[in-house]
Amino acid sequence: MTELFHLNCVRIVSPYSENVCGHCLLIRENGRLVLIDTGIGLQDIQHPEERIGKELIDMVGYRFDENQTAIRQIERLGFHPDEVSDCIISHLDNDHTGGLADFPNAIVHVGQEEYDNYLSGNRRYLKTPLSHNPVIKTYGTSDMQWFGFEARKVSPAVNTDIFLIPMFGHTLGHCGVALKINGQWMLYAADAYYLREELDHSGHPVNALTEASADDNDLRRHTLDKIRTLIALHPEIEVFSYHDINEFQKYTL
C-alpha cells in the first residue's frame, strides 16, 4: 500500500495572509520515500542570510521554524531521512528546493525547460539549493497526455504513477505534478496559482503578486485557463497548489 503525507514546509507572512504555507507531499512505498518539492531546509534555517539573503527574506516574509522542515517532519513520522530516494521538483525557486540539501543522496527530478532556465542565469534562482551537486534527472517534451495536459512520466524508485505536467508561466519550465494514489488522481499545481480564489476571481488582489513573479504572464494566464477547464470537466480529480493554507488544511484537519 502507498501512503501519502501532506507536509507544510514553509511559513510566509504576506500582505494577503499571515500564514502562507509550503504544501509538500511525501510518498512512502516499500520502504522508500519520495518528496514532491522540499520547502525551506534545515541549512536555510541555520544559516538564513548566507543561503537565502536578508533582502529576499525580508521581501518574501519568511518565518523560520526548524520543526517545519521536511527532514524534521519525516523524523517525527518515524522514518529515516536516508529513505528519501527521490525529490520531484515543480520548479527551482528556493522555497521549493531549500530542503534538497537535507537529502544529499536523493535524485532530483525536474523538467528540462526548468533546468535550462536555471542554468541560463535567470536572477530569480539561488544557487545554494543545488550547491551539494545532487544527481539531476531532467524530463523533456513528451507525446503522453493527461486529461488534456502534456504529461512526462517520472521514474523514481517507487511504482506510483507520477507525471510532471508542464504549467509554464510562473517560471519558463514550471510544472505541476499529477499522481495516482490508491486509485485517486490528484494534481499538485505548485505555483500555477497562489490562492484558489485566483481561479474564480481574476480581480483578486493576489493577482498583482502572481503577475509580478511570473517569467511569462501570458503563459501563466493560459495555464490558469487550463486548470479551470480541468476542474470543470473532472471534479473527481483533487487539485491543490503550494501556498494556499486553506487547501492544505483540508488534508490535515
pLDDT in tens, 32-44: 999 999 999 999 9
> Across the chain, what does the average pLDDT equal?
96
pLDDT at residue 17, as a whole number: 78
Tell me what pLDDT residue 227 has: 98
Q: Are 125 and 88 in contact (CB under 8 A)?
A: no
pLDDT category at 114 given cuts 50, 70, 90 is very high
**pLDDT exceeds 90 at position 213:** yes
User: Residue 221: what pLDDT?
Assistant: 95
pLDDT the model gives residue 102: 98
DSSP H stretches of helix in 26-183: 42-46, 48-51, 54-60, 70-76, 94-97, 112-119
Which pLDDT belongs to residue 60? Answer: 94
Q: Nearest Cα to 190, choosing from 227, 144, 236? A: 227
Q: What is the pLDDT of residue 203?
A: 78
CA distance 35 to 158: 12
- Residues above pLDDT 70, as percent of the chain: 100
Residue 111's pLDDT is what? 98
pLDDT value for 1: 80
Cβ neighbours of 184 (radius 10 Å): 11
On the question of pLDDT at 18 being above 90, the answer is: no
**CB of 187 within 8 A of CB of 196?**
no
Contact status, residue 230 vs residue 11, Cβ threshold 8 Å:
no
Res 101: pLDDT = 97
The predicted-structure confidence for 53-87, as pLDDT tens digits, reads as follows: 999 999 999 999 999 999 999 999 999 999 999 99
- Residue 207 grid cell: 493577482
| Cβ contact 7:24 at 8 Å | yes
Give the residues across from 87 on adjacent strands: 35, 108
Which pLDDT belongs to residue 88? 98
Residue 207 pLDDT class (50, 70, 90 cuts) = confident
- H helices of 70-212, in order, are 70-76, 94-97, 112-119, 197-200, 206-212
Helices (H), the chain: 42-46, 48-51, 54-60, 70-76, 94-97, 112-119, 197-200, 206-212, 217-233, 245-249
The pTM assigned to this predicted structure is 0.96
> What's the mean pLDDT in 165-181?
98
Cα 17 to Cα 231: distance, rounded to the nearest angstrom: 25
d(CA 154, CA 156): 6
